[in-house]
Amino acid sequence: MILEMKNISKSFGAVEALKDVSFTVHSKEIHGLLGENGAGKTTLMNILAGTFGPDAGTIEIDGNIVEGMSPKKAAELKIRFIHQELNLCNDLTVFQNMFLGEEYTKQRWKVDKKREMEHAQKVLDSMNSGIDAHTIVCELDTAQKQMVEIARALLFSSELIIMDEPTTALNNREIEKLFSIMQRLKAEGVSFIYISHKMPEIFSICDRFTVLRDGTFIKSGLIKDIDEHQATELLIGKSFVQAHIKDGIAASITEEVVLKARGLTGQSFRNVSFDLHRGEILVCTGLQGSGTDELATSLFGASNLEAGMLERPDGPLAMHDIKAVMKRGIAMVPRNRKERGILPDLSIRNNNSLSFYVAKHKGLFVTMREEKERFDASQKRLGIKVGSDLDAITSLSGGNQQKVILSRWLEIDADVYIMDNPTQGIDVGAKFSIYTLIVELAAQGKGVIVFTSEYPEIHQLADRCLVLYKGSTAAVLSRDEISEAAIMEYSTGTRKEELN
């Protein structure tokens, strides 16, 4: 199959997700689609899979224009999509999930469970997954769920398989298995579109690449013609790679500990300890499912700690009440802005004010004037682009929304800032200004903990990097020890530091 997507444009409200993007995949090739979060990769793939239509542009398959692409039509054209998020129903069995919507039937209406089961098991075995097709999905761990997602795409013969970050939860051994399956299918004539943030994977499996940045086409070519460094430059822009945000601003790490964690244990992590110093940026990283998500919310009192202690210089923290934690000088910018950050029905100004009202505002009544003055100051500090601060927050671009969320927490002037994936899904320019802000906060003597899984972010920000693997501390790396390879090895369990 030869796929050509020509001059695709797509906007969501005011946000232009794709601008005149063209993209070609030849038959029997593994095509790496590269781009940062928010570059438009997933939008482009959703258009290809028929999740939604483009505003402009055409999709051609083997030279024929495909009109009105829909998920059903994509399946008929033998295009399969392995989504980034796990789209599994937790209460159904593995084989029921794999056949969801495409059940085998007997006598036209009865589900042929036996046939489904056998077929599913055959595919799972061919992947050496060790998963029983009878298992209820909620009993699987994240890596196994990801294997099920992949197996689902292999059930029926396909000509093009889209893989949107299929390896986020897999370890090296599992990734190698996946790659050998991909090579085998490629030899049988299947093409792949492979989306990943992990450079080593792209270079070991892909034949050709296309780079998107901020919704525009940057470059296409053969993988063997570029190296990792060039790829990174294409991905995030030359100026950004060469920028060293931390170099411009004097580091001011002191001996004083602003947050002391001892033996923190939750549902998905155990015995995590660290000292956060005044002026320090501590990055905490790990694969999906490694416990970083829960650790971040636990530090803020938003999910329960089973054991362990957190201490500020003025004494231990009671960790069950977010408001109490805030009053002790801790702020948290949550991950996943859409679900956890913005209040979509509220104005930009109200979105900015919430935490201030909770932690700092005295009295019951609020005034428009005071609220506006505060927002205007923040707007200047962060360079937030707004029409009117009374507009709904959803009228802003992702980057500006995120700046409003950051500003919400700057309002309370905390001592410790926990930033949980603070640059998720925003453009490079906004990322850059958020990094600068974080480095400035540290220089002003705040302690900052950044949770992220993106290497460029770790590289730009970290004074120290704490790597979690399956809930335990795999390593604490100093700035000199941080490299993409080291972090990959520790976070996949390939290497383990002896910690006592």
Binding site for other proteins (CB under 8 A): 300, 302, 321-323, 326, 332, 334, 339-346, 350, 353-355, 357-359, 361, 364-367, 408
Nearer to other proteins, 246 or 337 (CB): 337
DSSP sequence for 174-206? HHHHHHHHHHHHHHTT-EEEEE-S-HHHHHHH-
Please enumerate in sequence order all residues whose Cβ is within 8 A of that of 152, keeping only pairs 6 or more positions apart, or say none: 82, 97, 98
Closer to other proteins by Cβ: residue 296 or 468? 296
Q: Which residues contact 76 (CB under 8 A, 6 or more apart)?
A: none
The tokens of 209 are what? 């690449």
The residue among 420 and 489 lying less far from other proteins, judged by its C-beta, is 420
Q: Which is nearer to other proteins, 156 or 357 (CB)?
A: 357
Question: What is the DSSP pairing of strand 160-164 with strand 191-195?
Answer: parallel
* Angle at which helices 398-410 and 348-359 cross, to 10°: 20
Between the alpha carbon of residue 249 and those of residues 430, 436, 460, 483, the distances in Å are 19, 9, 12, 22
Q: How far is the CB of 353 from other proteins (least distance, A)?
A: 7
Closer residue to other proteins (CB): 175 or 342: 342
CB of 302 to other proteins, least distance (A): 6
Would you say 48 or 302 has its CB closer to other proteins? 302
Give me the residue label for tokens 């972090």: 487
Strand partners for 465: 283, 477
CA distances from 74 to 59, 81, 310 (A): 11, 9, 51
Q: Considering beta carbons, is residue 358 or 377 the nearer one to other proteins?
A: 358
Smallest separation, CB 358 to other proteins (Å): 4
Shortest separation between residue 336's beta carbon and other proteins, angstroms: 9
In angstroms, what is the C-alpha Rg of the chain? 24
For residue 185, what are its two tokens? 């299918």
Query: Residues 55, 215: contact at Cβ < 8 Å?
Result: no
| Residue number with CB closer to other proteins (211 or 342) | 342
Nearer to other proteins, 70 or 336 (CB): 336
Q: In the bound complex, what is the minimum distance in angstroms from residue 434's beta carbon to other proteins?
A: 18
Strands 56-61 and 208-213: unpaired
- Minimum distance, C-beta of residue 346 to other proteins, in the bound complex (Å): 6
Decide if 448 contacts 281 (C-beta within 8 A).
Answer: yes
The 10 Å Cβ neighbour count of residue 184 is: 11
Output the smallest distance, CB 281 to other proteins, in A.
22
332: Cβ contacts below 8 Å, ≥ 6 apart: 296, 297, 299, 300, 302, 409, 417, 418, 419, 420
The minimum distance between CB 72 and other proteins, in angstroms, equals: 24
Residue 319: CB minimum distance to other proteins, A: 14
Q: CB-wise, 38 or 334, nearer to other proteins?
A: 334
Q: Residue 476 CA to chain centroid, in angstroms?
A: 22
What does the alpha-carbon distance between residue 25 and residue 21 come to, in Å, rounded to a whole number?
14
